Amino acid sequence: MKQDPPTNQPTNHSTLQPTPSAPTNPTPTTNLPPTNSIPPTPPPVPSPATTQPNRNPASTHSMVTRYRVGTNRPTQRYTLSVSTISPIPKSYNHAFQDPHWYRAMLDEYNALIKNNTWILVPRPSDANIVRSLWLFRHKYNADGTLNRYKARLVANGSTQLTGIDVDETFSPVVKPATIRTVLSLALSRHWPVHQLDVKNAFLHGSLSETVYMQQPPGFRDSQHPDHVCLLQRSLYGLKQAPRAWFQRFAAYAARVGFIHSRCDTSLFIYRRGSDTAYLLLYVDDIILTASSTAFLQSIIATLHAEFSMTDLGPLNYFLGISVTRNTSGMFLSQQKYASELLERAGMLTCNPCRTPVDTDSKLSADGDPVSDPTLYRSLAGALQYLTFTRPDISYAVQQVCLYMHDPREPHFSALKRILRYIRGTMPYGL
């Protein structure tokens, strides 16, 4: 019995010729749609297990396609990125489109408003207006996992004018030797050591200068769009911000009973009867140790009454230094920092070296100048901070730092030797 073609399919008679005969008993297992022409030599019919339905039933041409014989393969789409971390936005407009970064910006802005950081005033005609901008970064834990998204509103200190809206800028920071000494003392006496983080530390500082700043980008007041911010508190990015915060904290610490150390002004000592506590301040990070847990908690409560801070618990990660404490002692490691340093130098997969310095030759001022002195100075400065937990490279780093003013190729070779030594001794620490 001949099968009639469907009436709803058009036929192009100019290109197709009617066939003289049609099969009288078509194979029921094929998925071929009804057509007006049959190929003279049809290909083998695929098995029913692999046959797929024709997804283009309206075609009436005589060409043999994969859809007709059921051998078409589904398109495989691969996921190019599997990271769930939102990338750092290029501008505040891009940040508004990401819920993570938008929430971080709202938290920062609300904290500034709650702290009465500024008041809106009409724009003075003869005043210097400091620019404001948003900075974004990821905050990671010691194991490399994401901790939180951080958005920071900062003032562009490069637009400040000395003598007008900025004067003194020096602010002391704790010395590495002081940190090692206090940790050794706490470890030998079995004292608890906690880490505190001051939220928006620079906002607690008071300004002695008159500083005007643009309204935060993306948060301009709709009723007063032309007004500017008259700062009542210090703000990140201002040249005097670290000094203002340190003076504010030092004044409060002295008021509650702390005294400065004569050797390091960032070390605060508190004694009450037989109890003793040591507090180390590095910008907005605090290390606190005391002779008893109860005494330590009372000090934390006193500081928390004045400043908004978080008790991060026992010390485990401080200034890029991983701290591991057990019954036998304390281990300080900068392995993550060293890995980032090697990556910055492009030597993450370099061949390791057994020693950090060549004892057969001495460095001198001779040699060709390096092509990138800025890179040399940056790497040498980063190596200086690595000596905090790597005293084995102190001498070698001191030698390459002697020529930071005019680095030569032999000096760069000596610096690369130190990096190769670090590559082979990544797990080392103090």
Instruction: Return the bridge partners of 146, or none.
Output: 140
Same domain for 166 and 270, yes or no, is yes
Residue 250 lies in a domain: yes
- Angle of helix 335-345 versus helix 409-424 axis, rounded to 10: 140
CA angle 329, 330, 331 (to 5 degrees): 130
> pTM, whole model, 2 decimals?
0.69
The answer to whether residue 17 sits within a structural domain is yes
3-state secondary structure of 102: helix
pLDDT in tens, 40-78: 555 554 454 444 555 555 667 777 777 677 776 666 665
Is 407 within a domain? yes
- Do 226 and 322 fall into the same domain? yes
Q: Which two tokens stand for residue 70?
A: 């059921």
339 in the same domain as 389: yes
Same domain for 172 and 198, yes or no, is: yes
How far is Cα 212 from Cα 120, in angstroms, rounded to an integer? 10
Structural domain of 388: 334-424
Residues forming a β-bridge with 229 = 120, 213
Residue where the block lists tokens 């283009």: 56
Is residue 296 assigned to a domain?
yes
Same domain, 3 and 112: no
**Does the residue 430 lie in any domain?**
no
CB 144 within 8 A of CB 163: no
CA–CA–CA angle 112, 195, 153 (5° rounding): 20
Domain shared by 120 and 187, yes or no: yes
Asked if residue 108 is part of any domain, the answer here is: yes
Whether residues 264 and 369 fall in one domain: no
Do 228 and 344 share a structural domain?
A: no
pLDDT for res 77: 63
* Measured torsion, CA atoms of residues 34, 38, 42, 44, in degrees rounded to the nearest 10: 20
Q: CA 179, CA 267: separation in Å to the nearest integer?
A: 9
Q: Which residues, at least 6 apart from 39, have a Cβ–Cβ distance to it below 8 Å?
A: 62, 64
Among residues 19, 43, 72, the one where a domain terminates is 72
Query: Is 291 part of a structural domain of the chain?
Result: yes
Distance CA 39, CA 333 (A): 75
Q: Give ∠ CA 255-180-380 in degrees, rounded to 5.
A: 110
In which residue ranges of the chain is pLDDT below 70? 1-59, 67, 72-83, 142
- Do 156 and 239 sit in the same domain of this protein? yes
Domain count within the chain: 3
Closest CA to 51 of 35, 66, 36, 63: 66
Let me know whether 124 and 247 are in one domain: yes
